[in-house]
Amino acid sequence: MKHKLNLGSNIRWIATGAVAALALTLPDAAWAAAGGSKTLMDHFKEGGIVMIPLLICSILMLGIILELAYKVRVSKCAPAPVVEQLHRAVADGNYQEAWRVCNNNPCVLSSILKPAVQRVGRGKEVVQTILEEHAMKEAIGWRSRIGYLSMMGVIAPMFGLMGTTTGMIKAFSAIAAGGVLSDPTRLSLAISECLVATATGLFVAVPGFVGFYFFRNRIQSTMVSVEDVINRLLDDVPFEQLQGIKVGAQLEAELGAGDAAAPDAAGGWAAAAPAAADAMPTPAPAAGAVMVPCPNCSAQIPQGIPNCPHCKAQLEWA
């Protein structure tokens, strides 16, 4: 899956950074209950240099969680208006229109269904294989996304342990240098650095692991729901009667060229034909000919003819 940066995602990341920056200015509730007046920024400074990568990890983790919470939903992966348009197009036998709906409405559903609709003329087995491949690609894309949450849960305690180690080194250096009894501040600051770094690493790691397992299950259930929608859409497709029909970008380009050739007020495919569609005689089907719906106008036509007599579209048959 391709995750493109857009204005919406940029705004979410900016909002995430703003929330993190605001949190640093808030007073520490535990410290305030004990009668102190320290803010989270004061604790951030006490934690030492390792607090910087921990802050970066926390911002990235919060941004990924917000993004997944917004995107990993059935209403976003398979929007109801898109499902309704696809249902009408498939029910009418207009598979080129179904391809257009997928092309104009990017989502998880359209990403899986579009390549399958494009190859509907190659048979049911080919369509099922394509659906499985693209559904797996979408799922792998989401799993790689939540993998960052697991990574945050692993490396955050490591940074905390690093801060603990550097703080203990400073504490023992203060003891070795002497003067601890006369100035215990140096020792207390070093021990404070140990505890703050350790606690911060755990505070970052726990939500990361919780988010990883939560969204892993949510992605699985959402993908199952999307696949159910696709199966319902394709249940009544007569694959045997659609062998060799052409659907996709090439046909769309031909349709656009035909529309540009004759842009009169009537519009549509009839306007692109050299004569009005009503004036063109419709050839009678040969005896025993298999009638199939035209992928462009949905009219019943004999299988194997080079051009649709209704919309004048060129047809390719396997």
Condensed to tens digits (0 to 9), the pLDDT of residues 252-261 reads 777 766 554 4
Rounded mean pLDDT of 18-23?
A: 56
Rounded mean pLDDT of 148-161?
A: 91
Position 277 pLDDT exceeds 50: no
In this structure, is the dihedral angle defined by the CA atoms of residues 224, 230, 233 and 235, taken in order, positive or negative? negative
Count CA within 13 A, CB hemisphere, residue 101.
22
Rounded mean pLDDT of 124-132?
A: 90
Rounded mean pLDDT of 173-189?
A: 70
Position 228 pLDDT exceeds 90: yes
**What average pLDDT does the chain have?**
76
Position 166 pLDDT exceeds 60: yes
Q: What per-residue confidence (pLDDT) applies to 229?
A: 92
Q: What per-residue confidence (pLDDT) applies to 17?
A: 59
pTM beyond 0.75: the answer is: no
Q: What per-residue confidence (pLDDT) applies to 21?
A: 54
Q: Which of 138-152, 174-188, 270-284 has the lowest mean pLDDT?
A: 270-284
Fill in the amino acid letter for 261.
A
Q: Which residue has the tokens 């703080």?
A: 167
Which positions ≥6 away from 117 have C-beta within 8 Å?
95, 98, 99, 102, 247
Q: What is the DSSP string of 70-83?
A: HHSSHHHHS-HHHH
Q: Which of 27-36, 99-108, 296-305 has the lowest mean pLDDT?
A: 27-36
Confidence at 269, pLDDT banded by 50, 70, 90:
very low
Q: Is 24 helix (H, G, I), strand (E, B) or coil?
A: helix
Q: Which residue has the tokens 């159910």?
A: 228
Q: Give the pairing of strands 300-302 and 291-293.
A: antiparallel
Rounded mean pLDDT of 217-241?
A: 89
Q: Which of 91-105, 122-136, 144-158, 283-297 has the lowest mean pLDDT?
A: 283-297
CB 175 within 8 A of CB 184: no
How far is 92 from 83, CA to CA, in rounded Å? 14
